[in-house]
Amino acid sequence: MHLSDLKINDKAVIKSVNASNRVLRRLYDLGFVKDSVVIPILVSPSKLIKAYLIKDSIIALRDSDASKIEVDYA
């Protein structure tokens, strides 16, 4: 399952990140690394961007980037 597939308030654990080097580095810098717990908490009006709670921070990601992150339910 991908991070972009989660519904609001579903808790998940990151299993892997499959992205190009540039995007991969950005996601790692934001805390989207293996075994991190992540929860989608807000969705934009366009439904193309979600805000995620990860490591006591709120980070917004486009669904196109979130679809590169594999997760399992926590």
pTM of the model: 0.93
CA distance 60 to 42: 9
What digits encode the pLDDT tens for the residues 5-43? 999 999 999 999 999 999 999 999 999 999 999 999 999
Q: Which two tokens stand for residue 14?
A: 């990151």
Looking up residue 69, the CATH number of its domain turns out to be: 2.30.30.90
pLDDT score, position 9? 98
DSSP the chain: -BGGGPPTT--EEEEEE---HHHHHHHHHTT--TT-EEEEEEE-TTSSEEEEEETTEEEEEEHHHHTTEEEEE-
* pLDDT band at residue 46 using 50, 70 and 90 as cut-offs: very high
Per-residue model confidence (pLDDT) at position 67: 96
